[in-house]
Amino acid sequence: MANFKTHMVVGASASGVSSTLLLSGGTVSGSEAFLLFTLGSLASLLPDLDSKTSVPFKITSSLLSVFLAFFVIFSKPNYSLFEMAILWFGTFYGIRHLATPLFLKMTSHRGIFHSIPMALLFGLVGSIAMKSFFWTGNSIALWSGFFITFGYLVHLTLDEIYSVDLTNHRLKKSFGTALSIWKKDNVLGMIALYSAVIFLSAMINFDPIFQTLGNEHFYMELSEKLFPKGTWFENLFHF
């Protein structure tokens, strides 16, 4: 499998190029392109959340514990500071020492997290979260979900590439375990996963993405931006 550094570099590069294309095509603004780049880069590390020794898992479990603890107390502004403190420590402890160990017991590395439907689920949840909790517009929320799924799939693709032993011209045992659509050893989990994907997909209108990718004007914008029309790097240092 590819290591953390490889996943980070390739994921960030792929997300950067893709967000730049949307920016040049006039689909998103500069700040929105940076948001999509960030989401895609981070999503390229998500599949390794099921490995307790991975860097993404250690970082995510720590940040999630703190983030959700503050989210809970921010939702109860009328509580006293002492009550907020109890809620914070209770939430932090519950996630860090109860939910996290339970999650590790229920998952195995290269299990359900290394699958295409899980990539779709993360994208769908991300899209809904961006619109519901971060108050982004429908279009940028959809593109956020798209980049989360895209970054996730970049990770899975890299794992499959590293499963090919080019030196000895053979496939390693891990080949086919990343870009998979079904896990025989977790039938109930896969059924639940596909059910969630279908349910959430029915809640989202994907038209903005299809309209952009199928719009001739978008590709004309890209072709016009391929080379400068005037002086190269004009006003580069003028802000």
Helix axes 187-201, 116-132, angle to 10 degrees: 40
Of residues 77 and 237, the one with the higher pLDDT is 77
Q: What is the mean pLDDT of the chain?
A: 87
Long-range contacts of 137-142 (CB under 8 A, 24+ apart): 138/205, 138/208, 139/208, 140/28, 140/32, 140/35, 140/36, 142/204, 142/206, 142/208, 142/209
Judge whether residue 133 has pLDDT over 50: yes
Distance between CA atoms of 16 and 154, rounded to whole angstroms?
Answer: 13
pLDDT digits (tens, 9 = 90+) for 66-99: 988 998 898 788 999 999 999 999 999 999 889 8
Instruction: Record the pTM.
Output: 0.83
Please list the alpha-helical segments (H only) found in the chain. Answer: 4-24, 30-43, 55-74, 81-93, 100-106, 116-132, 138-161, 187-201, 207-213, 216-224
Instruction: Indicate the pairing of strand 164-165 with strand 170-171.
Output: antiparallel
Average pLDDT over residues 115-139: 90
Q: What pLDDT was estimated at residue 166?
A: 43
Tell me the domain boundaries of the chain. Answer: 4-51+110-224, 54-108
Q: Are 179 and 110 in contact (CB under 8 A)?
A: no
pLDDT digits (tens, 9 = 90+) for 11-68: 999 999 999 999 999 999 999 999 999 999 999 999 888 777 778 788 888 888 998 8
pLDDT digits (tens, 9 = 90+) for 185-199: 889 889 999 999 999
Q: What pLDDT was estimated at residue 109?
A: 65
